[in-house]
Structure 1
Amino acid sequence: MLFPRFTLFFFSMVSAYKPVVLVHGVFGTADGEFSQTFDKWIPDEHSGTIVYPIRLYEKFCSLTPMWIQIAKIRRKVADIMVNHSDGIHFVCFSQGGLLCRGVLSSMNHNVDTFISLSSPQAGQYGIPDPWKKYIDSLKQKAYRLLYSKFFQGKLSIANYWNDPHHQDLFRKYSVFLAPLDGTTPTANLTEYRRNFLKLRKLVLIGGPKDDVIRPWQSSHFGFYDDKESVVEMKKQQFFMKDDFGLKTLYTKGRVTTFTFPGIRHSQWYTNRTVFNKAILPFLT
């Protein structure tokens, strides 16, 4: 009787799904964004899956500079990886997608699949729709504050603000996104690239009705040129030069993009169609 039980236990251990780390967006909380959705749906669909919502830098603390957040999240992820040598998955929303990219790029990780859910991977340039009628002109002036040592050291959003009309200042002052992309030379780029290429799969999710990410194509590594026309991922300099390994992943068929119409920013993590089509199939 012991042998069949041991065989069943061993088989269940071998066939178990990889655990999933969830990282929330700006002003968000792990429980507020995920407790009734991904945190519940993933184990329901993939029985036995362990889900780790990262309960760090929630609400207004999410405005803490990116590298400070990344350092603490990285320690948490390292503790998780110790217990899961076969690998883990990342599912990361909005600003959380950039945090996850910073984490996996700056550590020796075993992240198998990184799902970036409506995240401004190429940067943000624009005001969310609910605020536009009050402060729409702010985006043209924001660089004066955000491209300064003070705000780069105080505000997460400043770290990935990407003004297409002031790229010289972006390269000079951005302490997070420009070095991570290789837009600004950094001694760490070789490490970022090496770690980024450890991913087996990168999944990029976004859509044209997103009312926060500007442009929405930033979720697919597309971004504005100096005329504010969107340039797709494959024509971005960091892609063509393969600065951090994105072109290599893409060429090897390890990048998948999804575009969903009609979904606003706060609906990405509550939409079951998005989950079923673009997230669940990659969490194996």
Structure 2
Amino acid sequence: MIGCWVQTQVAMVCEKLAQDPKLQGGYNAMGFSQGAQFLRAVAQRCPNPPMKTLISVGGQHQGVYGFPRCPGETSKICDYIREALNTGAYNDWIQKHLVQAEYWHDPLNDDLYKKHSLFLADINQERGVNETYKKNLQMLEKFVMVKFLQDSVVDPVDTEWFGFLKTGQAKETETLQESVLYKEDRLGLAAMDKAGKLVFLKTEGDHLQFTREWFVDNLIPFLRS
């Protein structure tokens, strides 16, 4: 994993957080779009100082399998784009240098994804369970996930609530609760859900489009805790 852009950035953030005396009692974090899954990696890998609340605003926690603003289920062109991305996304050099490739998740080639995804397959415990990752994530008091109902950038949009496409095809989706990841509780999300630590919010609008009023009413209260 040496040389992987996201891995390097996460390690740098962890080092900065550990050195900040103001954060030693804990802190709340908010990540927008891809920043949300990167911050989740921080929570899983770096428990000191402790992250108390993680707010994911349009994050892609199960990755993406689509080109922004491309309706893959209804357009042959989008399928061709997917095929082109699949040919290179799991190339070792691309995995280490192209950020988006690090959370590209191909449900049609599950074995290839699990073997060559340097970042996402690791933090989602898809090559085995790292008990430290699981323990650290469960230290969160709240894990808030925001889905944008008219999102034309993230495909599938279910990934914003930790859902994704069912393995082996590219049309039907499943919720987090229906997934193997949840049923086997690889990340501790099932336990967190039962404990009331998972919060699923939704809002109308395209990717990262929300009103000031919605933001203040729905997200700011989690930052005040």
Normalising by structure 2, we get a TM-score of: 0.88
Deviation at 1:85, TM superposition (A): 3.1
Identity of aligned residues (%): 27
Q: Which of 13, 16, 32 in structure 2 is aligned with 1:76?
A: 16
Q: Which segments of 5 or more consecutive residues in structure 1 lack a partner in the other structure?
A: 1-63
Deviation at 1:137, TM superposition (A): 2.4
Q: Which amino acid aligns with 2:11?
A: A
Q: Which of 265, 276, 279 in structure 1 is aligned with 2:207?
A: 265
Paired residues in the alignment total 215
Q: Secondary structure at the match of 2:59?
A: coil
Deviation at 1:179, TM superposition (A): 1.6
Q: 1:212 to 1:170 in 2, by over 3 A?
A: same
1:202 is matched with which residue? 143
* Structure 1, 210-219 or 271-280: larger mean CA deviation: 271-280
1:216 aligns with 2:150: no
Deviation at 1:250, TM superposition (A): 0.6
Q: Secondary structure at the match of 1:267?
A: coil
Preserved CA contact (<8 Å) 2:43 2:137: yes
Cα distance in 1 for partners of 2:222, 2:209 equals 20
Q: Which amino acid aligns with 1:237?
A: V
Q: Which has the higher contact order (CA 8 A, sep 6+)?
A: 2
Cα distance in 2 for partners of 1:96, 1:233 equals 20
Cα distance in 2 for partners of 1:131, 1:258 equals 24
Larger radius of gyration: 1
1:181 is matched with which residue? 124
Q: 1:215 to 1:69 in 2, by over 3 A?
A: same
Cα distance in 1 for partners of 2:158, 2:201 equals 11
Normalising by structure 1, we get a TM-score of: 0.71
* Structure 1, 216-225 or 102-111: larger mean CA deviation: 102-111
Q: Secondary structure at the match of 2:8?
A: helix
The CA RMSD over aligned residues, in Å, is 2.0
1:168 aligns with 2:111: yes
Q: Which amino acid aligns with 2:209?
A: Q
1:255 aligns with 2:194: no
Preserved CA contact (<8 Å) 1:204 1:258: yes
Residue pairs, 1:44-83, within 5 angstroms: 65-80=5-20, 82-83=21-22
Deviation at 1:115, TM superposition (A): 0.2
Q: Which segments of 5 or more consecutive residues in structure 2 lack a partner in the other structure?
A: none
Q: Which amino acid aligns with 1:203?
A: V
Cα deviation 1:236-280 (Å, max 9, x = unaligned): 11111111111111110010101112x111424xx2133123211
Q: Secondary structure at the match of 1:217?
A: helix
Cα distance in 1 for partners of 2:19, 2:146 equals 28
1:88 is matched with which residue? 27
2:51 is matched with which residue? 111
Cα distance in 1 for partners of 2:25, 2:11 equals 23
Cα distance in 2 for partners of 1:72, 1:153 equals 16
Cα distance in 2 for partners of 1:135, 1:245 equals 35
